[in-house]
Amino acid sequence: MQKLFRQIPSLDLLLKKPQAVELCQKFAYSTVAEQARLLINQARQFIAQHQALPSFISEEKAFFCILEGNLQALSNVKIRTVFNLTGTVLHTNLGRGLWSEKTIEAATNAMRHHIALEFDIDEGKRSHRDNYISELLQTLTGAEAACIVNNNAAAVLLMLATFAQGKEVIVSRGELVEIGGAFRIPDIMCQAGCKLVEVGTTNRTHLADYRNAITENTAFLMKVHTSNYHIEGFTSSVSEEALVALGKAFNLPVVTDLGSGSLTNMQALNLPNEPLVQQKVAAGVDLVSFSGDKLLGGPQAGIIVGSKTMIQQLQQHPLKRVLRCDKVILSALEATLRHYLFPEKLPEALPTLNLLTQSLEELQNKAERLKNALNKRLNADYILQIEPSHAQIGSGALPTERLPSVAVTISAEKQRDLLALEKQFKAYPSPIIGRIAQGKMWLDVRSVAQFERLIEMLGNHKTKP
């Protein structure tokens, strides 16, 4: 065995080889040395276990091939692009929505250049980083001002911490939502240092319930849009208009967490109805919060619009600096919002709305092309069909609503063949992510972006599942 150990070249000798010198130029000497040392240690372990020399030591070319592969793996970004064929358009686990080309351009410009983030070019003095977007949101929503943080959960936390610390917040029991990642309204209130006062019941809450709960320690009345679930049957809730009137009678602000949030009439796009931010502002709600990366179709952000006086207080709270967005997100958000100045062009400008508004005829054509491309890749063990499907918006938006869609389904006589195919799809350069249900793999074409690139990848991929 000692004879085998002696055949392992020294690290110094290996690093003097031309192949190693070339790798050091491409990567870095210290990293190349570290990875080479790891391979040498692997060789020693292999000899100890098998009393044989590993092939990558007996063949120098193989050693440097493995070494280069390991170095390349270190430099590659692990967060990979995928093709979303799950049928969920805004899939949280797959990064939610895609940005428009103008949004991408604005973000990359902010990455490459210095920008007037907190600088008023005309006045030649410092300004606030939210100013550009605040002016834009005033136009779009009718609100007096806006505040931007890194997501809607942060927006809710900031509002509670600013106005309700040590005080009480009244919320209907039917609106104590939990969203993905265990974000719960009661928990956020606890973190903000305020007390939750639940009123009504799970299915019915009346205006009198709010009125009877008001005390001298009440900070504000709060509405939470139940965007990720729906209660049906014997139900009752209080509108923002009624709550605003009650709030004025007791000199209390009203705050609404809209969650997903929308700035355009979804029904006009033949999509299920979703409350508009503009409607809540017009109803007199003092602060409205919503997300930037859901129905809005932009980057992850939490947007708060409403009373100028209250927005100024939010901006001055120490948490605002903790929760603020950087120049890339703010540039991307502004570019996204500017699309809303041209409402008729939204479905073609914003990828999210483009996917959601595709016609069944378009989806049928895509499904046929996908089926043909897959037929060339798969063997006779798999049966491909085009079937009606039901897609969903996702990310908690309109969870009970289903959008008519079309899918390519793949079935096999043996379940293990289907699981093997799923594994093969995940091994593609950009993994194909579908869903398995009813003993089939469903590849829903409504949710897939970059469809032409998907077809091209299937045509070029060399490994036949």
Which domains does the chain show, CATH number per domain? 1-75 (no CATH), 83-91+354-460 (3.90.1150.110), 101-349 (3.40.640.10)
Q: Counting runs of H as helices and runs of E as strands, what totals does the chain give?
A: 21, 17
- Taking residues 242-257, report their average pLDDT: 96
Q: Do the beta carbons of residue 173 and residue 199 sit within 8 Å?
A: yes
pLDDT confidence bin for 109, thresholds 50/70/90: very high
Asked whether the predicted pLDDT for residue 304 surpasses 90, the reply is yes
Asked whether the predicted pLDDT for residue 463 surpasses 60, the reply is no
pLDDT at 464: 46
Residues 6 or more apart in contact with residue 60 via CB below 8 angstroms: 17, 19
Amino acid (1-letter code) at residue 31:
T
Proportion of the chain above pLDDT 90, given as a percent: 74
What is the radius of gyration, based on Cα positions, of the chain? Answer: 28
Strand partners, 120: 125
pLDDT at 71: 95
pLDDT confidence bin for 242, thresholds 50/70/90: very high
- Taking residues 343-354, report their average pLDDT: 95
368/365 Cα distance (integer angstroms): 5
pLDDT at 396: 63
Higher pLDDT, 236 or 223: 223
pLDDT confidence bin for 233, thresholds 50/70/90: low
Least confident of 101-110, 125-134, 373-382, 455-464: 455-464
Counted residue by residue, the chain has a size of 465
147/87 Cα distance (integer angstroms): 33
Strand partners, 306: 145, 287
Backbone φ, ψ for residue 60 (5° rounding): -60, -35
Asked whether the predicted pLDDT for residue 90 surpasses 90, the reply is yes
**What is this structure's pTM?**
0.89
Asked whether the predicted pLDDT for residue 181 surpasses 60, the reply is no
Residues 6 or more apart in contact with residue 317 via CB below 8 angstroms: 158, 161, 162
Asked whether the predicted pLDDT for residue 395 surpasses 80, the reply is no
pLDDT confidence bin for 180, thresholds 50/70/90: low
Handedness of CA 58, 61, 62, 68 (dihedral sign): positive
- b or e along 10-44 (b: 16 or more beta carbons within 10 Å of the residue's beta carbon)? eeeebbeeebbeebbeebeeeebbebbeebbeebe
The three-point CA angle 352-357-361 to 5° equals: 130
Backbone φ, ψ for residue 200 (5° rounding): 75, -165
